[in-house]
Amino acid sequence: MRPELLLPEILTFLGGLIVLLGGSFLPRHRQWIARAVAALALLGAATAAALAMAGPAQTAFSGTFAVDTATGAARVIAALATLLVLGVASGEIADSPRESDTYALLLFATTGVMVLAATTDLLVLIVGFLLASIPLYGIVGLTGGRSGAEAAMKTYLMGALSGILLMLGVTLLYALTGATDYARLKDELPGAPAAAVGAGVLCVLTGLLFKAGGAPVHFWIPDAAQGTGVTAATFLTTVPKIGALVAIYRFVATISAGNETWLIVTAALATASMFLGNLAAYWQRDPRRLLGWSTVAQVGFLLVPVAAAGRSDLALPSLLFYLAAYALTNVAAFAVTAALPERRDLTAYRGLVHERPGLALALLVALLGLVGTPPTAVFVGKLTTATAAWDGGHSWLALLVMLNSLLSLFYYLRWFGPVFARPTQESATRRRTGGDAWAAATAGVAATASLALGIVAGTLWTALEGPLLL
């Protein structure tokens, strides 16, 4: 059984239980203790995951759970990204009635994300999907008031539909092959009826794309990012994607072993997400909704190396590095909006560099990072994913990565252009407010880490090169 191989998941889940139960006995002004326990659990999980990466690749629970480089990287990224989300939450929901409940749900959802990234069995995939999804509905609803309740309903309905499709796909593939573990699926699927296999695979991919926030089940992302609280918006646009995209990579690597058509399908999904996200973001004035559509586009970029699975040695390391880069950069952007919660229109950021130069600089780093400007980490991620696509025989997809990066520059300019513009009479006389110190600090830490990760990318790259267990 080797349960010790699941130490990061155990620490994260137990941390959630302690926070949930202990928070019930803490007075409202001492809920920070629950936040501290959650942070310690996440730091412990990240440390355990990093130490496990130094060892050999292994499997647990009869080969249904892989502990390899991809699992280790996803664990570390998910734990540290959730830790940054706690920094955003420290200002928004501090001393609120549901503070400890929100922290517990964040930890439970993060556990599901880790399980998604490591599973090599379709039944465990369903467990990870549900564990990552059900707490997310509560997080969206708890932190957004009336608009959060609407966002939670949309998220729940899309999640329920996607979950049903995922389970339908698993049922079809099991009926065709008599197996749910990836090793046997890899052997049995080439001999199964192509139409039935196609239906099953598309259903599974649809469920996973919901968690990732990619086309064609992406519609809930912008609505949820705009309608819920910034804590939930930061989490849902960042952490679930880590597990979902690693799960998609494992699944596509399995099914494409005997049929490379699925790599073309993945490339088409990547193209659709990139263009839909970028084009829809052009018309947005609410910064959080703009970041929601940006998330859809970023999922398209992240799917590019999946289309080269098994055909390029750069595919998996580039995906893992891009996930780390995106997590830091996206959290930085959302943390800036959390520090300035009253500014819900892009024009409200006019002259920010004169009022809050530190926040303006963090926002500049985050937005230029999302574009893919050197020396930020996302630049390295986009460059390596495009190279992986080229090596994998999809030169056209590599060119689309460059084109969509250029397209994204224009709507990011609509945001950080006013930030560095001369303030108007109204903004010049506006009383300077301190904003949320926790969110501002989180924005600074995440933006700095994004730059640092880009600079030391070569050193970290070797740690991401390792075998993928199926």
Residue 456 has phi, psi (to 5 degrees) of: -100, 20
Per residue in 378-398, pLDDT (tens digit) is 999 999 999 999 999 999 999
pLDDT of residue 429: 47
Q: Is the four-CA dihedral 448, 290, 399, 208 of positive or negative sign?
A: positive
How much helix, strand and coil, in percent to the nearest 5, is found in the chain? 80, 0, 20
Distance CA 264, CA 157 (A): 29
Count of H-run helices and E-run strands, the chain: 21, 2
pLDDT of residue 198: 95
Radius of gyration of the chain measured on its C-alpha atoms: 21
Per-10-residue mean pLDDT for the chain, 470 residues long?
84 96 84 93 97 90 92 97 95 84 96 97 97 94 78 92 97 95 92 94 96 93 94 96 98 87 95 96 94 97 96 95 97 96 91 92 95 94 96 95 94 90 63 70 96 93 85
**What is the distance between the terminal CA atoms of the chain, rounded to a whole angstrom?**
17
Task: Indicate the Cα dihedral angle 340, 346, 348, 349, nearest 10°.
Answer: 70
pLDDT of residue 425: 59
Determine the 3-state secondary structure of 424 from DSSP: coil
Distance CA 7, CA 56 (A): 16
Distance CA 117, CA 65 (A): 9
- Quote the tokens at residue 189: 């699927």
Residue 59 DSSP symbol = E
Contacts (Cβ under 8 Å, ≥6 apart) of 295: 213, 221, 225, 237, 241, 277, 330
pLDDT of residue 431: 45
Contacts (Cβ under 8 Å, ≥6 apart) of 299: 209, 212, 213, 214, 218, 241, 245, 273, 277
The answer to whether residues 85 and 136 touch, using CB atoms and an 8 Å cutoff, is no
- Other Cβ atoms within 10 Å of 409 Cβ, number: 16
pLDDT of residue 423: 76
Q: Is the four-CA dihedral 330, 331, 337, 341 of positive or negative sign?
A: positive
Residue 455 has phi, psi (to 5 degrees) of: -70, -40
pLDDT of residue 434: 47
Per residue in 230-280, pLDDT (tens digit) is 999 999 999 999 999 999 999 999 998 777 899 999 999 999 999 999 999
- Its pTM stands at 0.95
- Other Cβ atoms within 10 Å of 193 Cβ, number: 9
The answer to whether residues 453 and 324 touch, using CB atoms and an 8 Å cutoff, is yes
